[in-house]
Amino acid sequence: MTKFLLSAAALALAFPTVAEAQHHGMKADADGDKIVTLAEHDAAVAQRFARIDADGDGLVTEAEMKAMHEARMEKRAERRGERMEQRRERMEKRMAEATPEQRARFEEMREKRAEMRELRQDHRAERHAEMWAKTDTNGDGALSLAEFQAHSRERFAKMDANGNGQIDADERRGKRHHGGHGGNR
C-alpha cells in the first residue's frame, strides 16, 4: 500500500501542467514575457519527462516516478527540518504548561488530524491511479513522452480559458479559468 501511495503521489507531482506550477517561478516562460505558450509548455514538459526518465529509455515507469517523488520529498524534508524542530519545541513548552484537559483535547485533535491525513492519502491514491490509467493509453505500465505530453496538453487547454494557445497571468491565477484546478486550489 505504501509503494502504491508513493507512486500515486509521484504521479500527481509529475502531471500538473508546467503552467500550473508557474506560480513558483515561471520556469516554462522561456522568453520572460509572463506568458506561457504551448510551445514553451511542451518544451518544459519534455525537460521534466527527461528528468524523471532516469534510465533514458524514453519511458517513465512507476519506479522512476517513485524515485523522483522520494528525491523531492527528501529535499522538502530538509527545508522543513528546522521549522519542524522549532514547532516541536514550542509544542513541548505548551504541553508542559497545559492542564490535563487541554492535553486530552490536544491528543484528540492530533488523532483526528492523523485520520484525516490518512483519508486524504487514500483519496489521492485512488485519484492518481485513475490518472495513471487514463494517461497510460496503451496500457503498457509505462508512460511515453507522447502520453505524458498529451495529458499535460489537456490540462494546458483547460487553463487556456480563451483558447489562444497561451496562458497569461490571469489564466494562471484562475481569473478566467473555467475548469480543472486554476488558482482556486
Domain span at residue 93 reads 2-173
Residue 185 resides in a domain: no
CB contact set of 16 (below 8 Å; sequence gap of 6+): 155, 181
**Is-contact 181 20, C-beta < 8 A?**
yes
Give the Å distances, CA to CA, from 59 to 12, 85, 166, 181.
17, 39, 28, 27
pLDDT digits (tens, 9 = 90+) for 109-167: 989 999 998 999 889 888 888 888 888 999 999 999 999 999 889 988 988 889 999 98
Dihedral sign of CA atoms 170, 176, 177, 183 in order: positive
pLDDT category at 182 given cuts 50, 70, 90 is very low
Q: Where are the beta strands (DSSP E) in the chain?
A: 36-37, 59-61, 142-144, 166-167
pLDDT at 52: 92
pLDDT digits (tens, 9 = 90+) for 58-69: 999 988 988 888
Query: Buried (b) or exposed (e) across 158-180, using 16+ Cβ within 10 A?
Result: bbbbeeeebbbeebbebeebeeb
Three-class SS state of 59: strand
Residue 28 resides in a domain: yes
- pTM score, whole prediction: 0.65
Q: What angle do CA 46, 182, 137 make, to 5 degrees?
A: 45
* C-alpha to C-alpha distance for 96 and 20, rounded to whole angstroms: 44
- The answer to whether residue 181 scores a pLDDT higher than 50 is no
Residue 151 resides in a domain: yes
Residue 128 resides in a domain: yes
pLDDT at 180: 44
Nearest-Å Rg of the Cα atoms of the chain is 20
Residue 29 resides in a domain: yes
Residue 84 resides in a domain: yes
5-14, 60-69, 81-90, 107-116: which range is least confident on average?
5-14
Residue 181 resides in a domain: no
Looking at the structure of the chain, the number of domains it has is 1
- Averaged pLDDT of the chain: 80
